[in-house]
Each structure stands twice: as C-alpha cells, then as structure tokens.
Amino acid sequence: MATEPADVLIIGAGASGGVVARRLSEAGFRVVCLEQGDWHDKSEYRGPELDWELTMRKQWSTSPNVRGLPQDYPIDETDAEISPLMYSAVGGSMLIFAGAWPRMLPSDFRVRSLDGIADDWPIDYHELRPYYERTDREFGVSGMGGDPAYPVGGEDPPLPPLPIGAGGLKVARAHARLGWHWWPEPNSILSVPYDGRRPCVQRGTCQQGCNEGAKASTDLTHWPKAIAAGARLVTGARVRRLETDATGLVTGATWLDREGQEHFEPAKVVVLAANAIGTPRLLLLSASPAHRDGLANSSGLVGRRLMMHPFANVGGLFDENLESWQGQFGCSIESFEFYETDERRGFVRGAKWGLAPTFGPINAALPSRAGTQVWGADHHLHVRSHLGRGANWGIFGEDLPDEGNQVTLSGTLTDGSGIPAPEVHYKVSENSRRLLDFHIEKASESLLEAGARTVEVDRLMRYSGWHLLGTARMGDDPKTSVLDRWNRAHDVPNLYVVDGSCFVTSAGVNPTSSIVALALRAADHMVETRFDQQVPV
C-alpha cells in the first residue's frame, strides 16, 4: 500500500487516462492509475472464431448492462432513449471502439456565435490542431491529407489510408455524380506496420476487440510506454469516492479491490478519466458536508448536458456480392456534405456520415434493426440478399446540450462493490429528430445513386450511446462550467477531468480523436505549470 502520495492519480485507464499517464510519466511525474477493469490479451477476442456473432450479443456486447461482467457497473437507463455503451478495461472503451478518427471542424467550437444556440468553446480548432497531430502519431492514424472539409495546412495523417472496399468505391462514384463531398475516413487503425504493431487484416470485427493489435487502444499504444517510464497501474481497483481536505483540495481516492477490501490512494493531483458517465458518477459520489451537491459542482452542472449523438443507420442493399462483412469497422469513407448549418432545413447543425461493413450471416438472418424478418422458404432469399451485399451509412448527428439530459445516482441500483450505479436521463431533442430525418433522406439518395436496389433504415438506434460527452463542461465562467479551459475544476485547483465529460458541445463527429487531443493538451499544461500547482500539505 502506497503511503507516499502520487504526483498524479489517474482514475480510468481508457483513452484519455492512457494519454495523460504516458505524457506525465515520460515527463518524470510519479503516476498511479486505478482501473476497475483488467488487461486483455489479443487472443481473447472472438473475431476469427465461429462463435463471433453469438458472443458479440452477450459477453462482447457493447452494453455493460447486457454483458453484466463483474468489472462493469450497471446503468439505470429506464429514463433514457439511448443506451450508453462502454467497456471497462486497460484501454477502456477503445477495446471495442470502431476506430473512426475524424477531427472536429472549426465551426464546432463556435456554435453559439454562428447558430445562436448552445455555447462556444473556450478554445478553437487551431489551438487544438497541434495536439491532433501529436495524438495521430501516438495512436497511428491512417488517412489521406487535404480533405476540403477542413482548413488547409498541418500534418497529414502519418499512415496511408485504409482500403475503402467495393461498397465505398460505389458510393464514392455516386458522390462524384451527385457533386457531394466524400473522403477516405481517417481511422486509428494501421494500414502498414507501425510502432511494433501489425497492420489491419480487414476482418471487420473491430467492435469485439482487434486480434491483430492493428486498431489503436491505449493498452497497446500508451500504457506499456507509461509503465516503462515508471507509471503504476492498478487493475481491479474500483474507486468509490474522492477525498478532500479542509482547504477544499482533493487528497486522493478511496477504492475497493476485487475482494471488497477498501484502500486509500493519496495524491497531490487527481485526474478523472472515467468517461462522461463514470466521471460525474464519481464527482456526485464524492459529496460531503463541504460539497453537498457533489465535488466540483458549484455550477450545478456536474452530470448535466449529457450528449450521446443520436444515431441512424441507413443501409443500402446491392445486387452484387460486395463481401461487405469484411473491412475495418471504423469506416471506409465519410461525407461532410450536409455537416454545416442550413436553417432552410428546419434544424441547426448537421451530421457526419461514415460508411461501415455489415456483419455475417447470423446478423443477416435475425430480425434486422430496420424491423424486417423473413421466415419460411423466403428466408434464404432474404439472407442471400443481405449477406455481403450491404453498405451502411451511419449518421452521427450533432447532439445539442440540454441540462435535462443528465447522469444522477441511483437510489436502488448498485455495482458489484455496492457503490450506487449511475442513472441516465436522456431524451432525444426535436432538433435531433429533424436532423436525422433530413440526413436519412439524403443518405438514402446517396445509396440509391450508388446502385442500391433498396434502402433499409433504422431511424434511431437504441444501442448507439457510443459517444459519451458533456457532463462536466469546460468554460471560462465558473458559474456556467465545471472545468476551466485547461480541464481543471474551477472549484478544486488540483482536480482535472480529461475524458469526454469536458465537451462543451458534441460536434457531429466521432469524438475520441478530440477527447485525446484535449487530454494531451491538459497534460502538457500540467507539465508546464507543475511548479505552480497547488497541492495538499
């Protein structure tokens, strides 16, 4: 048991936790990390096995409630229209993430100024760009520079783009005819060997773990380096609350091991990296007589403004076999054609589209997400017309912040350690519904132009809470934000939050490249201000 306080205690060994741990330990900080999950070995993933489509629905489900593993905490989602998805392990949700790696666009940081809604960020695209470039190198990003959806300049992705597949090519040609934007998707998946890791083999099972180690996750890209630089990572360690002293500084964390034994880990600085559900849960759990509404919560915004990107799937079915069960699940191509606001459409903001593969025969045979099921002799025709013959546009719509969409603590449900579980309250806004309707129509047009025989639509997928954002937003005003522009809690000068909780608005893109760029920026700031950092005595 450590008695000497760590320079920095990180909670959560996922995407953001890994980035901060590596940066700080390489800068000479004494780093300790507490992670409730475990290490996984690549050989545990079921992608190459016959049971892949069976186990993905339970043991390797993207929902902690479906998996129900001891290291997961359950989530009360009875009042939520979308289920939050995540994974608890070294590497965090990156173990099962798809790997799509687009950046936010300049307008995403200025939603209030441009569209008169939500809020502006305290930083802008240009401030974040150097961090995007560094994290692209750290994770190993494949893609093509020069995308006119972004400003010119800066570094291209370090590795060449991944293949776009037969479906991607059809849609790219269709967009050429329509005069619409498309671009090879940047993915944090290796197209060539890099940093001791093997390249992608296109197996298409990225959301159940990558057997090749081609898809980036911090257990591969960051933790080995952080540990080599002296970081101590404790797994099976579930943090119950953060402790504070009389001056209001945080002094460390109380946590439980797998046997339920309680420990205290003292620290000079605490960094929360437990994602936008786990972090507000911990801040609320850390309420005390001095902080009755939870730690760092004088604004009342801890847990509020949860954003999850309402998602629609628009699937085109083609006559020829595209072998669409193969290919990186990240995405093959993307389109930003309808990303920016056009108020004539009846909503503000927009969505990125990402084209994804389509799973195997069990998925084709079961009642589809779009509601079709065919049994009897025609079942075989149904399966043949779906298996390998699809191209799916995933629509990631910008989710606007709403204080009513929030994480609270459950009064009844607990995790395996007896700690109150989070309760998620989430309604899809009218703006999101209109946005999805418009984008579904346009994405259908794209697929039909590409030659799809028919298009099947899943309008609002329940199990699509992949992107967890906004529950401890950053900002310059302590009355209206939880964190300052450097991810430090306004109320607690030695507490940082580096996960997706810090987002002011959600943008309409997959968020992880931005989460880790922001986390690296916060870590740089910790290094630069190390001698001015207030710590408990």
Ligand X SMILES: Cc1cc2nc3c(=O)[nH]c(=O)nc-3n(C[C@H](O)[C@H](O)[C@H](O)COP(=O)(O)OP(=O)(O)OC[C@H]3O[C@@H](n4cnc5c(N)ncnc54)[C@H](O)[C@@H]3O)c2cc1C
- Least CB distance to ligand X at residue 95 (A): 8
Residue whose CB is less far from another protein, 65 or 202:
202
Q: Does 188 interact with ligand SF4 (rule: CB under 6 A)? A: no
Q: Does 203 interact with ligand SF4 (rule: CB under 6 A)? A: yes
Of 85-124, which residues contact another protein (CB under 8 A)?
Answer: 105-107, 109-110, 113-114, 124
Of 82-101, which residues contact ligand SF4 (CB under 6 A)?
Answer: 99
Choose, by CB under 6 A, the member of 22, 25, 37, 64 that binds ligand X: 37
Q: Does 326 interact with another protein (rule: CB under 8 A)? A: yes
- Please, are residues 137 and 159 in contact by the beta-carbon 8 Å criterion? no
- Least CB distance to ligand X at residue 136 (A): 13
Choose, by CB under 6 A, the member of 63, 286, 313, 328 that binds ligand SF4: 328
* SS3 annotation, 429-467: CHHHHHHHHHHHHHHHHHHHHCCCCEEEEECCCCCCECC
Rounded CA separation 346/368 (Å): 30
For the chain, what is the radius of gyration of the CA atoms? 22
Residue whose CB is less far from ligand SF4, 329 or 503:
329
Q: Does 171 interact with ligand SF4 (rule: CB under 6 A)? A: no
Q: Does 340 interact with another protein (rule: CB under 8 A)? A: yes
Choose, by CB under 6 A, the member of 98, 174, 296, 428 that binds ligand X: 98
Characterise 154 by phi-psi region: left (phi > 0), alpha (psi -120 to 50), beta (else).
Answer: left
- The residues pairing with 313 across neighbouring beta strands, listed in sequence order, are 394, 458
CA 470 to the chain's CA centroid? 12
Question: Phi, psi at residue 410, to the nearest 5°?
Answer: -75, 140
Structure tokens at 344: 């004539």
| Sheet with 183-184, side-by-side order of all strands | 183-184, 333-335, 351-356, 390-397, 311-317, 454-458
98 binds, among ligand X, another protein, ligand SF4, none (CB under 5 to 8 A by kind): ligand X
97 binds, among ligand X, another protein, ligand SF4, none (CB under 5 to 8 A by kind): ligand X
Could you tell me the end-to-end alpha-carbon distance of the chain, in angstroms, rounded to an integer? 20
DSSP alpha helices (H): ranges in 179-250?
218-221, 223-228
At position 151, the amino acid (one-letter code) is: P
Number of residues that bind ligand X (CB under 6 A): 42
Stretch of 130-138, 226-234, 270-278, 289-297 lying at the interface with ligand X (CB under 6 A): 270-278
For residue 522, the SS3 value is helix
Q: Does 149 interact with another protein (rule: CB under 8 A)? A: yes
Rounded CA separation 216/349 (Å): 30
Q: Does 410 interact with another protein (rule: CB under 8 A)? A: no
Of 434-473, which residues contact ligand X (CB under 6 A)?
Answer: 466-467
Q: Does 397 interact with another protein (rule: CB under 8 A)? A: no
Q: Does 201 interact with another protein (rule: CB under 8 A)? A: yes
Stretch of 118-126, 152-160, 199-207, 281-289 lying at the interface with ligand SF4 (CB under 6 A): 199-207
Q: Does 47 interact with ligand X (rule: CB under 6 A)? A: no
From 187, 535, 507, select the one nearest 348 (Cα to Cα).
507
375 binds, among ligand SF4, another protein, ligand X, none (CB under 5 to 8 A by kind): another protein
Q: Does 52 interact with ligand SF4 (rule: CB under 6 A)? A: no
Stretch of 91-99, 189-197, 227-235, 320-328 lying at the interface with ligand X (CB under 6 A): 91-99
Rounded CA separation 389/457 (Å): 15
Residue whose CB is less far from ligand SF4, 213 or 465:
213
CA distances from 532 to 66, 237, 269, 328, 500 (A): 45, 30, 12, 45, 26
- The residues pairing with 38 across neighbouring beta strands, listed in sequence order, are 89
Choose, by CB under 8 A, the member of 1, 50, 246, 537 that binds another protein: 50
Half-sphere exposure of 510 (CA within 13 A, CB side): 24
Q: Which residue has the tokens 């002011």?
A: 504
Q: Does 44 interact with another protein (rule: CB under 8 A)? A: no
Choose, by CB under 6 A, the member of 200, 220, 274, 331 that binds ligand SF4: 200
- Least CB distance to ligand SF4 at residue 414 (A): 34
Of 152-171, which residues contact another protein (CB under 8 A)?
Answer: 152, 156, 158-164, 169
215 binds, among ligand X, ligand SF4, another protein, none (CB under 5 to 8 A by kind): ligand SF4
Question: Phi, psi at residue 458, to the nearest 5°?
Answer: -110, 105
Positive or negative, the CA dihedral 339, 342, 345, 346 is: positive
Rounded CA separation 99/205 (Å): 11
- Please, are residues 215 and 100 in contact by the beta-carbon 8 Å criterion? no
- Least CB distance to ligand SF4 at residue 52 (A): 11
- Least CB distance to another protein at residue 329 (A): 11
Rounded CA separation 302/403 (Å): 10
Q: Does 109 interact with ligand SF4 (rule: CB under 6 A)? A: no
Choose, by CB under 8 A, the member of 287, 362, 413, 535 that binds another protein: 362
Q: Give the footprint of ligand X on this chain (CB under 6 A).
A: 11-17, 34-37, 62, 85-86, 88-89, 92-94, 96-100, 207, 237-239, 273-275, 278, 282, 330, 466-467, 499-500, 510-512, 515
Residues in contact with ligand SF4 by CB under 6 A are: 47, 99, 189, 200-206, 210, 212, 214-215, 328-329
